[in-house]
Structures are given as C-alpha cells and as structure tokens.
C-alpha cells in the first residue's frame, strides 16, 4: 500500500488572515478550512469500502467498469499469508475466480459485468480530499485497536502525512 | 461585499483532471501527472468539459479554495451556510470571514439565486488572479454580467 499527499491547504496563509484582521487565533478554528488531498494506491477494496463510509470527504476511485483486473493485484491478509493451509485455500479460490473472470471477458462479457465475480481482496487506487476535521474523526475511529489492520495502516499513514504537513494543527488538536 | 483569495489548490484544472483520470486509469499517480503534463492544458479542458457536460461534479470537489470575505453580516453568512452546508465560514470580527469551499459548491452557488452574488464575487476574484481561467470559462461562461 502507498499513500501520498498531493496537496494540503497552506495553514500559515490562513493563520495570517487572523493576525491581519486582529482576530484571536486557535488552531482548532482551521479544522474545517484545512484540507488534504491524498492518493491511495494498492490497498484492498475491503478497506476502501470501510473508508468511503466516512462520507464527509470526496473520493474518486479506479473503476472496475473500465480497467481489467489481474491475478497479481490482490492483497493477502497476514493471517492468511502466515497460515499454510489457509493460504492454499485462498490461492486456489483466487485462481478459480480469476479464471472465470478472464473466460467471461474473452467470451465478450463487459468488464463491468464480469467484475461481479471479483474478490474484495482486489487492489485499488483512489484520490481522497478531506478536511482536517473529517480526517481527525477518521483517525479516531480507524486507528483504534478494534479497527482492522489494513485501514489502521492506511489511516496511520494519512495521519503521519497530515501531521508532517500541518504540525501546529495536529499537535494541538489530536491530544484532546 | 469584498472577496479576496487566501489560498487555492495548486493547478486547479489539473487537480480536477487527476481525479477524473484516477477513475479510468490503472496508472500510478506519478504516471497520471506525467501524462497530464505531457498532454497539456487542452487535454485538461477536454476532461473538464466532459465532467461538466456529464454532470460528474464530484471531481470538482478536489479543487478547494479559502477566501477572506468582508462586509458580510452574520445573517448574510447564516443564509449562505444553511443553503450550502459544505461551505465553511469562521467569523473574524467586523464583518470579515474566512470562508472555505470547493469548486462544486461554487458551481452550485452560481446556479442558485441566493448564492449567485457571492459566487460572482468569488469568480471575479479568481478571474482577476488568473487562478483557473479554463475552469471559469467552462463553468461560468460569459461573465460580463456576473456582477
């Protein structure tokens, strides 16, 4: 999985407006104004199903209607990877599924219909634009111990990038 | 009412084009960005035109803006926020506000009578600063009467 910050709002530029107008400044005032645009690559569709439930954000995701799926492009959870019997079953299932997908596409079925057989393990790419306030909510929910490993990894990566880009915002607010 | 740009997404039209290409491409973000740079602004215009024609306005949400709005009362801002809840405003005192919104909300403001004057002030500011000439031309057309 790879997460890249494409841009973020210039925190200092917004902060300057407060001083120019003589308004009292608290970083939390900028939670709704600072946004981050992330590129997320090669996480599973299991995880993006969880991610897009956070509705106060904007998403555009690689469409399976138009791009062909490949056998190589799947995420294998560690619990399966490290269990020989489980991995064998997983791998066999994927082989059957992908063979069916390829047969259907070769037989003229549109990719948008053939994809119905594809697994949720399939890797995907998407862009996400989110305000600091919404991201903070996602962080609180999805870095908790009860959250699943993959979205926890993803959101921790997003948090690190956001914190690095706008330390004053996250340093003050995340502690609450 | 006076509106001044504080910050906007870098290369707004290209940012929207990135979001569009993301949906249809298996490439990495670096490959998509390189493709968009190589094909240039006319390709961005083509993609934007398609998004607006197809009413796929979600891609506009990745172009975000922050503005200083002056000469607006609490009631003015309250009315706008109630009608357009994705817009954010923080009072700075003396009728000044820090306002943040994305380009989809800007288009929606432009299309509604109660939002049009504010949208027109923003579009005029973006025009003056040449922030997104292609987007402004495609989304807001002839702005000679935009106010």
Cα distances (Å, whole numbers) of residue A40 to A5, A12, A151, B137 = 9, 26, 11, 31
Extents of the domains making up chain B: 2-140
- How much is the average pLDDT of A82-95? 96
ipTM: 0.94
- How much is the average pLDDT of A37-55? 96
Q: Are A57 and A18 in contact (CB under 8 A)?
A: no
In a domain, A70, yes or no: no
Contacts of A127 in chain B (CB under 8 A): 18-19, 22, 29, 62
Same-domain pairing of A16 and A35: yes
Q: How close is the nearest chain B Cα to the Cα of A142, in Å?
A: 23
Q: CA–CA separation, A59 vs B58, rounded Å? A: 8
Active site residue A55: no
Percent of chain A past pLDDT 70, that is, above it, reads 97
Q: How close is the nearest chain A Cα to the Cα of B141, in Å?
A: 25
Q: CA–CA separation, A22 vs B146, rounded Å? A: 32
Asked if A126's CB is within 8 angstroms of B22's CB, the reply is: yes
In a domain, A69, yes or no: no
Mean residue pLDDT across chain A: 93
| Alpha helices per DSSP H over chain B | 12-24, 29-39, 41-53, 74-83, 103-111, 116-128, 133-140
Cβ-proximal residues to B85 (8 Å cutoff; 6+ apart), any chain: none
Structure tokens, A85: 């019997």
Same-domain pairing of A60 and A136: yes
Same-domain pairing of A90 and A138: no
In a domain, A75, yes or no: no
For residue A172, the model assigns a pLDDT of 59
Fold (topology level) of B2-140: Gyrase A; domain 2 (3.30.1360)
Report the chain A residue with the minimal C-alpha distance to residue B22.
A62
- Does A62 lie at the interface with B, CB-CB under 8 angstroms? yes
Query: Could you say which of B23, B24, B64 has the minimum Cβ distance to residue A129?
Result: B64
pLDDT over 60 (residue A176): no
**Catalytic hit among A16, A55, A133, A142:** A142
In a domain, A73, yes or no: no
Q: CA–CA separation, A66 vs B16, rounded Å? A: 19
Asked if B64's CB is within 8 angstroms of A35's CB, the reply is: yes
Same-domain pairing of A151 and A110: no
In a domain, A17, yes or no: yes
Same-domain pairing of A167 and A95: no
pLDDT over 90 (residue A118): yes
pLDDT over 60 (residue A165): yes
Same-domain pairing of A110 and A144: no
Q: How close is the nearest chain A Cα to the Cα of B140, in Å?
A: 22
Domain that holds residue A25: 2-64+123-173
For residue A174, the model assigns a pLDDT of 57
Same-domain pairing of A107 and A134: no
- Does A72 lie at the interface with B, CB-CB under 8 angstroms? no
For residue B140, the model assigns a pLDDT of 94
Same-domain pairing of A56 and A102: no
Contacts of A32 in chain B (CB under 8 A): 88, 90, 100
- How much is the average pLDDT of A125-149? 94
Q: How close is the nearest chain A Cα to the Cα of B144, in Å?
A: 30
Chain A (82-141) residues lying within 8 Å, Cβ to Cβ, of chain B: 125-127, 129, 131
**Number of other residues whose CB lies within 10 A of the CB of residue A46:** 18
For residue B142, the model assigns a pLDDT of 61
Report the chain B residue with the minimal C-alpha distance to residue A3.
B29
For residue A65, the model assigns a pLDDT of 84
In a domain, A47, yes or no: yes
- How much is the average pLDDT of A72-89? 95
Mean pLDDT by 10 residues, chain B (147 residues): 96 97 94 97 95 93 98 94 92 97 96 94 96 95 54
- Nearest Cα residue to A73 out of A50, A47, A100, A43: A43
What total number of domains does chain A contain? 2
């Amino acid at each position: 999985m790879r997460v890249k910050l494409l841009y973020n709002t210039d925190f200092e530029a917004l902060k300057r407006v407060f001083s120019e107008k003589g308004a009292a400044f608290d970083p939390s005032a900028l939670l709704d104004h600072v946004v981050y645009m992330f590129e997320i690559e090669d996480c599973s569709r299991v995880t993006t199903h969880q991610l897009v439930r956070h509705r106060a954000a904007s998403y555009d995701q690689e469409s399976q209607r138009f791009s062909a799926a490949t056998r190589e492009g799947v995420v294998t959870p560690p619990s399966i990877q490290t269990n020989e019997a489980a991995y064998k079953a997983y791998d066999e299932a994927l082989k059957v599924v992908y063979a069916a997908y390829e047969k259907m596409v070769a037989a003229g079925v549109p990719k948008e219909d053939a994809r119905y057989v594809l697994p949720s393990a399939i890797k995907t790419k998407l862009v996400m634009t989110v305000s600091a306030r919404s991201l903070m909510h996602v962080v609180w929910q999805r870095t908790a111990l009860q959250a699943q490993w993959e979205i926890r990894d993803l959101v921790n990566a997003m948090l690190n990038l956001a914190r690095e880009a706008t330390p004053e915002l996250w340093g003050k607010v995340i502690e609450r | 009412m006076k509106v001044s740009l504080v910050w906007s997404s870098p290369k707004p039209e290209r940012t929207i084009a990135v979001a569009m290409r993301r949906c249809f491409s298996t490439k990495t973000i670096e490959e998509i960005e390189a493709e968009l740079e190589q094909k240039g602004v006319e390709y961005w215009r083509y993609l934007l035109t398609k998004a607006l024609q197809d009413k796929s306005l979600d891609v506009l949400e990745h172009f975000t803006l922050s503005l200083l709005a002056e000469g607006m009362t609490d009631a003015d801002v309250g009315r706008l926020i109630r009608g357009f809840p994705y817009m954010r405003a923080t009072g700075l005192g003396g009728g000044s506000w820090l306002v943040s919104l994305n380009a989809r909300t800007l288009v929606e403001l432009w299309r509604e009578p109660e939002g049009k004057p504010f949208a027109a002030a923003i579009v005029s500011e973006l025009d003056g600063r040449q922030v997104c000439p292609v987007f402004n031309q495609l989304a807001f057309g002839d702005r000679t009467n935009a106010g």
